[in-house]
Amino acid sequence: MNRRSFLVLSGLVGGGLVGGAVLAGCQQPGAAGGAPADVPGVTDLADPGRLRTAEAVISSFENSSTELPYASAQDIGDGRGITAGRAGFTSGTHDLLLVVRRYEESAGGERTPLTGYLPALTAIDAAVTAGGDGGDTTGLEGFPDAWRQASQTDPRLNRAQDDVYRRLYFDPAMAQARRIGMTSALGQLVLLDSAVQHGTGTDPDGLATMIDETTEAHGGAEQPDRSGWLEEFLEVRRAHLLDPADAETAEVWRSSVPRVDTLETLLDEERFDLATPLDWTFAGQAFHFAG
């Protein structure tokens, strides 16, 4: 799986991202509860308001809603097991286990609605590491209901989701943006959405790989916001979605091509600062975000 490959290459599978020492310093992008205020003069995703707009767009792709789905959990049949929470953390790609571990640590030994699922999540993770089936949900019966209960009643679970999301996806995507000089909110949204779906590593479909392919095809990444680089990147991403490295999940990846269509439309409209109100269409459904 693309996302798991990123975690393996980053050294995070096997417990590298579980301790409070690793995650305690993480801030919360799009934090659960409350509307973030804009920062005067800041027009990229360092501005909380623009970050929330970017997350609303990504959530429309993932959940057909502009709201972050902290409490959602289900097996969507994509070969990754249970998909849960604000970033689609999955039991088959290690990041769901990281969230649950982080949540349990924040509880300080107190039993939570998810405590009883740690052995099953750990066993599935070990099996996938050894080449097993990422879609296996053995021992996770009742997990979606328990997740929803915890998310709706214990803010520590949603904070754990924010922590892991930032560490695994937001921070690496923004590091890539800095590396190539991507300074617009829209350009950073394109990279962030790719990170959430593909992972940020150098596996065949990872964000870093697609950036390198784009830069090579474009003859460099100077002024990537407005020089045609973003258009090239989206075409590279479209090609990866149409012909993914993992043939077993090809149908799922191909169904994501409308994400690229939407981002291309925002680019054509030159919505570089993601100023609100923002309107877009995804897969035939219209969305509006007032900010």
Q: Rounded CA gap, 150 and 71, in Å?
A: 8
55 belongs to the catalytic site:
no
261 is catalytic: no
To the nearest 10°, the Cα dihedral for 113, 116, 121, 123? Answer: 180
Q: What is the pLDDT of residue 1?
A: 37
Let me know: does 143 contact 73? Beta carbons within 8 Å. Answer: yes
What is this structure's pTM? 0.82
Overall average pLDDT of the 241-251 stretch: 83
User: Can you tell me the mean pLDDT for 166-170?
Assistant: 94
Torsions phi, psi of 219, nearest 5? 75, 30
Percent pLDDT > 90 in the chain is: 70
% of the chain at pLDDT higher than 70: 86
Distance between CA atoms of residues 187 and 196, nearest Å: 15
41 confidence band (pLDDT: 50, 70, 90): low
Q: Write out pLDDT tens, residues 78-104.
A: 888 999 999 889 999 899 999 999 999
Confidence (pLDDT) at 159: 98
Architecture field, domain 2-16+46-284: Up-down Bundle (1.20)
Find the range with the poorest average confidence among 11-15, 37-41, 282-286.
11-15
Q: Give the helix/strand (H/E) hosting 281.
A: strand 278-282
- Confidence (pLDDT) at 208: 94
Can you give the pLDDT at residue 2? 42
d(CA 233, CA 214): 5
Question: What tens digit of pLDDT does each residue of 15-34 get?
Answer: 333 333 223 333 335 544 44
In order of 64, 74, 149, the CA distances from 142 in angstroms are: 24, 10, 11
Sorted by where each begins, the domain ranges of the chain are 2-16+46-284
Select which of 44, 78, 205, 232 is catalytic. 78
Of the listed ranges 32-36, 180-184, 207-211, 225-229, the one predicted with least confidence: 32-36
88's CB contacts (< 8 A; 6+ apart) are 62, 196
Residue 6 has pLDDT above 60, yes or no: no
Mean per-residue pLDDT over the chain, rounded: 86
Q: If you average pLDDT over residues 203-215, what whole number do you get? A: 92
Catalytic residue among 55, 62, 225, 232: 62
**Which pLDDT band, with edges at 50, 70 and 90, does 220 fall under?**
confident
